[in-house]
Amino acid sequence: MSVAERVVEPLRVQELTGIGDRSALDADAKMHTWAPPFALLTAVALLLIAVAYTGSRMATAWAAPLFWLSYVMILLPVCVRLTMVQIARSERIGLVVVLGLGLYLVKVLYSPLMFTMGDELQHWRTAYDILQTDQLFQPNAILPVSPFFPGLENVTTALITMSGLSIFAAGTLVIGITRLLFGLSLYLFYEEVSGSSRIAGLSALLYMANPHFIFFNSQFGYEALALALAAFTLYVTKRRDASPVNRRILVSMAALFGLGAMIITHHITSFAVTGILLAWEGLAYYWRATKSGSASAATTASPGGIALLSLIGTLSWVAFVAYNVIGYLSPWLNGMVSELVSLLLLESAPRNFFQGSAGQDIALGLQLATIAHVVLILVALPFGVWQVWQRYRFNPMMLTFILVAILYPALQIARLTPVGLAIVTRATAIVFIGVAFVLAVGAVHLLEKRQERRSLTLGVATWCLIIFVGAMASVVSAWRLPGPAIAGNYSRSLDMERVAAAEWSRERLGTENRFAAPMEHPSIYVLGSYGEQRVVTNVADKVWLQAVYSEPQFTDVSKYLLRRGQVTYLWEDTQASKLRQEETVQPSLGILEAQSTKYDTARPVDRIFDSGAIIIYNVDSYNAPASALGGNTK
Amino acid sequence: MNRKSVELLAILVFTVLAIGVIALDVAFAPLRLLFVLPLIFVLPGYALVSLMTTDQLAGTDRLTLSLGLSMGLAVLGGLFLHVIGLGLQSDAWVSFLGSITLVAAAGALHRAYRNQDVATAPIAQAPIPMRSVGMVALALLLVVGAYQVARWGANNFGQSRFTQLWMTPMTATAETQTIQFGVHSQEATALRYRLELKVNDTLAQEWNDLVLAPGQTWETTVALPLAQMAEGELAAYLYREDLPATAYRHVVWKAK
């Protein structure tokens, strides 16, 4: 036994090596499992959450407390059980699956009639275009990069074409099954790496405490599927080295399928997983080169060719198919860097953490819970890193986990800027793979060192629970509880009025009309999806139509931009308009009125639709060759 | 015949039935879904796992590998169907997934027959207590109930109430322009409206007593002489009976 294997040994509290370990499986089968009662409890909590959501739509005071109570009801038993030592592997897996699906259903209950999140509508459009044409890679103006990563839409449209389901129903089912695959793969990956079902269960639990697991990564978006495929790829890649020759073909094929599918599903996940695989391979190579005498096959296992294939596959896909992803991602990265530099040079103030997207203040309790979430992780992280280092430092995969986990504090710095926050939202899903494992190793070590004292077990379970509560507290308030549309609130801006207006445009004006729409408002996604219109955007058309909206008057510049964008219709959302005015002008100056009527007074502009919040103008006259740019205003 | 062979035979039969249900375009949606879901998410992967290994796998591992392989196949299959020009349509999908499942399951079955003497004993699996089955079934029922409650809440509360007014130019001749007007109500209750049509600020036509229930639409078409509108504008103002002083909605068409 090597040095590394000896130091790992004490942690193998409840070893189960998975495939083919018959004695362990036989023993496990005899143990009692609490997973079914907890599934029932979770279902009761979900029913209460549905009631809380209805209460929230009715603006009742009891909705929020009931929601929080139900949320804790889902988590508390799972946190306690997964922290304990003497429970069956099958129960741990069952609890991970129940929790993963339960948290997904929290999101499903939030919007049970249709997709309401902007990202979902972007992918709705890609799926719709595939259904219309039977072909991939159709242009999508509201997310130009989406058609070039069609993995999610491939699965969804397969289900739709064969079953006749709607995009919403099929998408909801696909993400649900994806969540099942994710939970299982994540658990098995952690178990494969650690050799401990307890560490695996706790790691999977802590992963789900990542703030974006509940809503952002549960939406009908390519990242949700890619993360599941990433976890599956990592699991089978790790399994590959430990497998006997007769099974290696199977796991190698599984790894290739998972990898290939992930690469054509989501860019950032592919980049991140490639990075993880390369780091793992690099560390293994270093270990083999420098410590070849004492290295065993178990500790120097590495992804080998899978890492190289991941690199080649990802780069090839970007180079030959999805090259627009560079133009899509680079402004975000540039924006984050310039904002961080500006922050460091004291040229700008950090983002206000505790202000909602509509500018409202966040309750003190939620602020404290959010702080507790970050602080509890940051405090425990060094301890976990130290434990992993002490016990597993000869294992390249473990060291890769450390490398990934220590990115977490860096991400917190990026959260200080608005653009950084958007990037952190995406990156957290990957970074938490390492964070969760490191924290779980630290927690299990602590429990073992103190002989599994009941008070300490409860302490660790409470720590997990607080992290979960903080994760939910840090979620945008309107994502927690549904209700009427709120001006400036991204996820609550899409209501039936906007959907109905978009559908009206499709039915009365036809599809694929070139529309101008306010970029800062999610109604652009309704128009581009349910409305099936061709929204003119800066990314797709290189025309910055936002100036048309932000100018106090309907100027010649506005007319020029509309003509340049070949815009036929202009969509005005009074919510967006109101916010824009609050940000840019003082209402007392009387410019508000000028803003709201600026299109009405423009001579060749017809006001063809009015539903109160949404007004549609026909501006096609500006496309006429004879259109004089200067003399059209009354 | 061992258990493995029975499983594989069942997969073959199920896949053939699924192909039949989809190819015959059976209209009963739940039945289609019952066959389509396993055909996409489980069966191809399960058949491939059975073909690739003769070992007994733990249930979790088999499920994960089946799900992951099936999902990967569906994702990559879409790309494959696109590249070979079949397109992502129902026939292409069912041929692709069905043939992979049938070939892999048949191969695995052939091997299972050939190796049945050396087949390993199945992994011990404790019988699932009826109480657990009952609890999971009850949990599923509660989830369905929760979904219905959420749908009911979303349908009945917190939705914006609104009325749409529109005006879309239709056919034009040398002398007249035909314009369609429409009102659609999504208010909480039935409302009484009045619609005024003005040409160059002069009342040209009026519709009183338009009563629309929630979800109801009223439409009309008006042909106006172009001479009447030269250099002017046509405006429609919608008033609610309970708010008669202010135009609730308005639309405008300007002569070009």
* B202 bridge partner residues: B199
Two structure tokens written together for B215:
């979800």
Verify whether the Cβ–Cβ distance B75 to A155 is below 8 Å.
yes
- pLDDT for A15 equals 41
* B233 pLDDT above the threshold of 50: yes
Which chain A residues are closer than 8 Å to B158 by Cβ?
A: 56-59, 482-484
Strands A534-535 and A606-610: unpaired
Residue of chain B minimizing CA distance to A30: B126
* A388 pLDDT above the threshold of 60: yes
- Choose between A87 and A419: higher pLDDT: A87
- Choose between A625 and B105: higher pLDDT: B105
CA dihedral A500, A502, A504, A506 (to 10 degrees): -140
Q: Is A510 left (phi over 0), alpha (psi -120 to 50) or beta?
A: left
B107-119 b/e with 16+ CB inside 10 Å = b?
bbbebbeeeeeee
Q: How many residues appear in chain B? A: 256
Q: Does B17 touch chain A (CB under 8 A)?
A: no
User: To which residue do tokens 């906007």 refer?
Assistant: A498
Rounded Cα distance between A459 and A328, Å, is: 45
- pLDDT for A299 equals 59
Verify whether the Cβ–Cβ distance B29 to A163 is below 8 Å.
yes
- Choose between A292 and A359: higher pLDDT: A292
Verify whether the Cβ–Cβ distance B154 to A57 is below 8 Å.
yes
Give the A window 478-537 contacts with B, CB below 8 Å. 482-485, 495-497, 500-501, 504, 508-509
Give the A window 596-625 contacts with B, CB below 8 Å. 600, 603-613, 621
- Choose between A248 and A498: higher pLDDT: A498
Confidence of residue A395 (pLDDT cuts 50, 70, 90): confident
* B181 bridge partner residues: B167, B220
- pLDDT for A410 equals 87
Task: Choose among B33, B146, B184: nearest Cβ to A50.
Answer: B146
Strands A514-516 and B249-254: unpaired
Cβ B55 vs Cβ A88: under 8 Å: no
Residue of chain A minimizing CA distance to B65: A254
> What percentage of chain A reaches a pLDDT higher than 90?
56
* A446 pLDDT above the threshold of 70: yes
- pLDDT for A513 equals 95
- pLDDT for A401 equals 94
**Mean pLDDT across the stretch A16-29?**
49
CA neighbor of A602 nearest in space, from A585, A587, A622: A622
> Model confidence over A293-313: pLDDT tens digits?
555 555 567 788 899 999 999
Q: Does B219 touch chain A (CB under 8 A)?
A: no
> Model confidence over A597-614: pLDDT tens digits?
677 777 778 999 999 989
Q: Does B152 touch chain A (CB under 8 A)?
A: yes
- pLDDT for A68 equals 95
Give the B window 97-126 contacts with A, CB below 8 Å. 97, 123-126
Residue A67, amino acid? F
Task: Choose among B77, B126, B149: nearest Cβ to A154.
Answer: B77
Rounded Cα distance between A492 and A477, Å, is: 10
What is the dihedral sign for C-alpha A498, A499, A500, A502? Answer: positive
User: To which residue do tokens 């970074």 refer?
Assistant: A431
Which chain B residues are closer than 8 Å to A155 by Cβ?
A: 40, 71, 74-75, 78
Report which secondary-structure segment, H or E, holds A622: none
Cβ neighbours for A542, distance < 8 A, ≥ 6 positions apart: none
* A387 pLDDT above the threshold of 60: yes
**Mean pLDDT across the stretch B124-136?**
81
**A511: distance to nearest CA of chain B, Å?**
15
Rounded Cα distance between A368 and A207, Å, is: 21
- pLDDT for A333 equals 84
SS3 for A469?
helix
Q: Does A245 touch chain B (CB under 8 A)?
A: no
SS3 for A323?
coil
Verify whether the Cβ–Cβ distance A163 to B93 is below 8 Å.
no
* A485 pLDDT above the threshold of 90: no
CA atoms within 13 A on the CB side of A375: 7
- pLDDT for A592 equals 41
Confidence of residue A451 (pLDDT cuts 50, 70, 90): confident
Two structure tokens written together for B177:
């322009």
**A349: distance to nearest CA of chain B, Å?**
37
- Choose between A239 and B144: higher pLDDT: B144
CA neighbor of A54 nearest in space, from B156, B153, B158: B153
φ, ψ dihedrals at A322, nearest 5° = -105, 50
Confidence of residue B174 (pLDDT cuts 50, 70, 90): confident
* B171 pLDDT above the threshold of 80: no
- pLDDT for A628 equals 41
Rounded Cα distance between A588 and B138, Å, is: 60
* A8 pLDDT above the threshold of 60: no
State which of A2-11, A84-93, A155-164 shows the largest mean pLDDT: A155-164
Which chain B residues are closer than 8 Å to A25 by Cβ?
A: 58, 123-124
DSSP B39-106: HHHTHHHHHHHHHH--S---HHHHHHHHHHHHHHHHHHHHHHHHHTT--SSHHHHHHHHHHHHHHHHH
Residue A354, amino acid? F
Rounded Cα distance between A198 and B174, Å, is: 82
Task: Choose among A246, A254, A612: nearest Cβ to B65.
Answer: A254
CA neighbor of B210 nearest in space, from B226, B235, B187, B229: B187
Q: Does B28 touch chain A (CB under 8 A)?
A: no
> Maximum distance among all alpha carbons in chain A?
89
Task: Choose among A93, A135, A258: nearest Cβ to B68.
Answer: A258
Question: Comparing A87-91, A325-329, A373-377, A494-498, which segment has the lowest mean pLDDT?
Answer: A494-498
Rounded Cα distance between A116 and A496, Å, is: 10
Rounded Cα distance between B41 and B38, Å, is: 5
* A376 pLDDT above the threshold of 80: yes
Question: Comparing A17-31, A275-289, B23-37, which segment has the lowest mean pLDDT?
Answer: A17-31
- pLDDT for A221 equals 95
- pLDDT for A294 equals 57
CA distances from A516 to A141, A287, A496, A504 (A): 12, 57, 20, 16
Q: How many residues appear in chain A? A: 634
Confidence of residue A514 (pLDDT cuts 50, 70, 90): very high
**Mean pLDDT across the stretch B80-100?**
96
SS3 for A406?
coil
Rounded to the nearest 10 degrees, the angle between the axes of helix A222-242 and helix A418-449 is 40
Two structure tokens written together for A63:
């909705």
Verify whether the Cβ–Cβ distance A504 to B166 is below 8 Å.
yes
- Choose between A233 and A352: higher pLDDT: A233
- pLDDT for A66 equals 97
Q: Does B163 touch chain A (CB under 8 A)?
A: yes
Residue of chain B minimizing CA distance to A624: B256
Q: What share of chain B is helix, strand, coil (3-state, %, to 5)?
A: 50, 25, 25
Q: Is B60 left (phi over 0), alpha (psi -120 to 50) or beta?
A: alpha
CA neighbor of B41 nearest in space, from A268, A405, A173: A173
Verify whether the Cβ–Cβ distance A603 to B146 is below 8 Å.
no
Verify whether the Cβ–Cβ distance B60 to A93 is below 8 Å.
yes
> Model confidence over A152-165: pLDDT tens digits?
999 999 999 999 99
State the CB neighbour count (10 A cutoff) for residue B100. Answer: 20
Identify the DSSP state of B216: -
Mean pLDDT of chain A: 85
- pLDDT for B125 equals 61
- pLDDT for A207 equals 97
- pLDDT for A2 equals 40
Rounded Cα distance between B118 and A75, Å, is: 46
Verify whether the Cβ–Cβ distance B37 to A159 is below 8 Å.
yes
CA atoms within 13 A on the CB side of A59: 5
Q: Does B139 touch chain A (CB under 8 A)?
A: yes
Confidence of residue A23 (pLDDT cuts 50, 70, 90): low
Rounded Cα distance between A402 and A142, Å, is: 37
Verify whether the Cβ–Cβ distance A26 to B97 is below 8 Å.
no
Confidence of residue B209 (pLDDT cuts 50, 70, 90): confident
**Mean pLDDT across the stretch A445-459?**
89
- pLDDT for B175 equals 79
* A65 pLDDT above the threshold of 60: yes
CA dihedral A127, A128, A132, A133 (to 10 degrees): -30
* B196 pLDDT above the threshold of 60: yes
Question: Comparing A1-5, A29-33, B233-237, which segment has the lowest mean pLDDT?
Answer: A1-5
Two structure tokens written together for A388:
């992993």
DSSP A495-528: -HHHHHHHHHIIIII-SS-EEE--TTSTHHHHHH
CA angle A101, A102, A105 (to 5 degrees): 85
Rounded Cα distance between A174 and A581, Å, is: 41
Q: Does B71 touch chain A (CB under 8 A)?
A: yes
- pLDDT for A594 equals 45
Which chain A residues are closer than 8 Å to B181 by Cβ?
A: none
Rounded Cα distance between A353 and A342, Å, is: 18
> Model confidence over A342-372: pLDDT tens digits?
888 877 777 666 665 555 567 788 889 989 9
CA neighbor of A125 nearest in space, from A537, A631, A534, A608: A534
Most A CBs within 10 Å, among B160, B185, B237, to test the A interface:
B160
> What percentage of chain A reaches a pLDDT higher than 70?
85
Most B CBs within 10 Å, among A154, A309, A523, to test the B interface:
A154
Predicted ipTM? 0.90
Cβ A592 vs Cβ B231: under 8 Å: no
